[in-house]
Structure 1
Amino acid sequence: MVRGMADYGGEGIMLAGAGRALLLQLANPAVGRGVEEHSNFEGRPVNRLKGTLTYVYAIVYGTDEQVKEVRRRVNRAHVPVRRPDNADSPGYSAYDPELQLWVVATLYDTARTILEMIYGAPDDDTADAMYQDYARLGTALQVPEGMWPEDRAAFGRYWDQQVATLQAGPAGIRVAHGLLYPKHTALWYRAIIPPARFLTAGLLPERLRQDFGLPWNERRERRFSSTMRLLSATYPKLPRQVRHGLKDYLLAELDKDIQRNRRDIQRNRKDGRPAKRQGVSA
């Protein structure tokens, strides 16, 4: 049976690759500068992660109303993320389709990497279906349909070209350090960071480990391989409601926000006041 993103997109194990995807994004200097100057990743990492996951889950599993809401949130968050070229560095814009394509590409390649480690390589039909499904994450925003590489082979060429040119700049390194070595976040979050940092390092190309100052050696490599073998033996045996629990929770929270927004809009219309919307930025 051919499976696509609807079968795999809600798997909680995807969180194991969250750090990899983010550091790959930050290794693009324009993304790194934009995040440092306009985002609050270091101060609110959980909220930012929830926003990204809610967007992905809504695009894949959500109703038309949920999709409309997450697109509104992301577009609103992207409005101020821009800077013109200057003498010191080139400018950037969160609406740049090339940068958005790179962000979606990191999400796809990370999901593919994690799923293959946990479930093994899929058959070609399943891999093709999942690849085409991921195009929706970009085209739901500003990535033109024609920009998404037409097949997995074309994506592989695009990916290799991009990774070969990546070099984390000072801004991206500072943001990554704040995320990987947090000081002002909840204790529970700081407790889970060491294993998350270890998985992130294991999933990154060696050159980017060096850029971001993540130590690695043969002992860590053996430990990483053992960890992934253990996860591949145990995770698929968990009940689906456990594996997809985070997806179900975040979509339920999104519905609550939509309902609150609707009530607030109706109330403010009666009172003659401007409407205010709830929601976590993506």
Structure 2
Amino acid sequence: MRRPVDPASEAAILLGAGRAILLQLARPEVGYGVARHSAFAENPMARLHGTLMYVYAVLAGTPDDRRIAQGFVRRMHAPVRGGDDGGVPAYDARDPELQLWVAATLYDTAILVHGRVLGHLPEDRADALYQRYAALGTALEVPPEAWPADRAAFRRYFEEASGRLRVDATIRAQADALWAATKAPRWVRVLMPLNRFVTAALLPPEVREQYGMRWTIREERRADLLWRGLGVVYPLLPARLRTWPERYYLARLRRGGKAGRPGARRTPH
């Protein structure tokens, strides 16, 4: 009998990376902070790599892994503040409310993709996974009591917070940079149309519309076929392949930690 894979370690969850990023950017305080204080437009893959190193460090790493990842994220967040001028919302990357939103998009996306590809978790395992994801926020500035108490409370929070999402030209330009991926390896650029399609399939319709992403009944049918196919093929993959990204990003974090900065040494993408 195969040993079950930790749901937080499933590679399939990475199918939702684009969704999580676009939901984060659609919160104006996050989107403008990224647009004004990062190289996202030139190298959006760097944000993805940094996020995944942090996620795997918190959910599956050692105490040293978490310490390295926390320190890196805090240093990156420290200068990201400003706005409240010319119609730009005030933002501060250390704001617990914004960090809660970022952590919430990661959890909501993970559980959505898991359900599409592997089915819904039993209630006890779903509750345990939910509590583990709280650490993505509380490892930084989010007070433990700010993470919704249970999954029902989370759903209410997420629906209310989603009502504050707004995508303007500045934020949409960040999404366009993600799809262009001009500094990403060639194989990433080749896969970007598929990534964009999967992201559109997973986004809430109102957010997808704000990003100007075309979606028709035909696309919906294609997405259904994709999820069905993955639901058949993916569970047959060996556990070592299904958990490869976790091992890769933890190794990348550790190499970078020795060099003084996660990801500081060039590694294969």
Partner residue in 1 for 2:121: 122
| Pairing 1:160–2:159 present | yes
Let me know the Cα RMSD of the aligned residues: 1.7
1:1-282 equivalent positions in 2, closer than 5 A: 7-258=6-257, 260-261=258-259, 277-280=260-263
State the Cα distance separating 1:250 from its structure 2 match. 1.6
Write the distance in 1 (CA, Å) between the matches of 2:174 and 2:83: 21
User: What is the number of equivalent residue pairs in this alignment?
Assistant: 261
State the Cα distance separating 1:87 from its structure 2 match. 5.0
Report the AA paired with residue 280 of structure 1: G
Greater mean alpha carbon deviation, residues 174-183 or residues 190-199:
174-183
The answer on whether the counterparts of 2:58 and 2:66 sit within 8 Å (CA) in structure 1 is: yes
Q: Residue 182 and residue 249 in structure 1: after superposition, are their counterparts in 2 closer, same or farther (change >3 A)?
A: closer
Rg larger in 1 or in 2? Answer: 1
TM-score normalized by the length of structure 1: 0.88
Write the distance in 2 (CA, Å) between the matches of 1:29 and 1:84: 10
State the Cα distance separating 1:183 from its structure 2 match. 4.1
Write the distance in 2 (CA, Å) between the matches of 1:18 and 1:278: 23
**Gaps (5+ residues) in structure 2?**
265-269
**Gaps (5+ residues) in structure 1?**
262-276
Share of identical aligned residues, percent?
Answer: 44
Report the AA paired with residue 132 of structure 1: Q
Write the distance in 2 (CA, Å) between the matches of 1:189 and 1:113: 23
Report the AA paired with residue 74 of structure 1: V
* CA deviations over 1:159-210 (Å, ceiling 9, x no partner): 1111223221222111011112344543222101000000000001111111
TM-score normalized by the length of structure 2: 0.92
Write the distance in 2 (CA, Å) between the matches of 1:72 and 1:252: 17
Report the AA paired with residue 152 of structure 2: A
Write the distance in 1 (CA, Å) between the matches of 2:211 and 2:38: 19
